[in-house]
Structure 1
Amino acid sequence: MRRLIALLSLQVISGLLLVPLTLVLTIVVFWHVYLILQNKTTIEYHEGVRAMWLVEKGGYLYSHPYDLGAYENMISVLGPHIFCWVCPTSEQIGSGLRFRAGVDKLAGISF
C-alpha cells in the first residue's frame, strides 16, 4: 500500500512539474518562430517597438530593414535545404558579415 501511495504521489508531482514546463517551452518555441518569420533578434524586436512608435508618431509606416518575407527569412536563418530545417546544420548563406536587407531585395541584389 505504501509503495502505491509513493508511486501515485511521484506521478502527481511529475505531472505538476510537466504542465508548467510544457507551457513555458511552447511559448518560447512560438516566440522564436515569430522572430524567425520577422528576421529579427530579440534585441532588434525591442528596438523595433520604439522605432515603430517614433515613425508612426511622425505619420509614416515602419518596416524592419532585414525583413525579406517569411520564406526568405526562414531560408536566411535555417539554410537553403528545406528538409534540413528540422535539424539545421552549420551550412550558412554568405559570409556572416553582411546580410540581405529589404532594400537589396527590391534592387535585385544577391549575395
Structure 2
Amino acid sequence: MPYVKPVVTANRINFLASSKVQAFTYQVSAAGVAADSNGRKIVKAGTILPANDATAQGILYTDVDVTNGPQPGSLIVEAYVLQARLPVAPAAEAKDALSKITFR
C-alpha cells in the first residue's frame, strides 16, 4: 500500500493595505522560535523584526522556516499595513522605528 501524506492547508491573512511594497532581504534568526506541532520552527508573515520594540527594522513579508537555522526572508521596510491583521500588535516604539510603514 503506498504511503500518502495528509493534506496540509495554510491560512494566510493579507495584512497589506496597498500593492506598493518596498522589501529587502533579511537574515531571519531561529533564536527564540518555538517548534509547532509538526516540529517545524516557522516565523510568521507579519512579524516585526528583529523585535517588536525600538530596534524594529521591518515586517516579515512571508513565512520563513528556521527549523534548520537562520534563513533569508523578505523584510518590508515601506508599505501601508493593516495593523489589526498582524500576528502581534506593534508596540508604540516599533511604530516610531518603522517610520516608512503606515499603519492603518
Q: TM-score range by the shorter chain?
A: under 0.3
Q: Which has the larger radius of gyration?
A: 1
Higher relative contact order (CA 8 A, sep 6+): 2
In the superposition, the TM-score normalised over structure 2's length comes to: 0.24
Structure number with higher helix proportion? 1
Larger strand share, 1 or 2: 2
TM-score, length-scaled by structure 1: 0.23
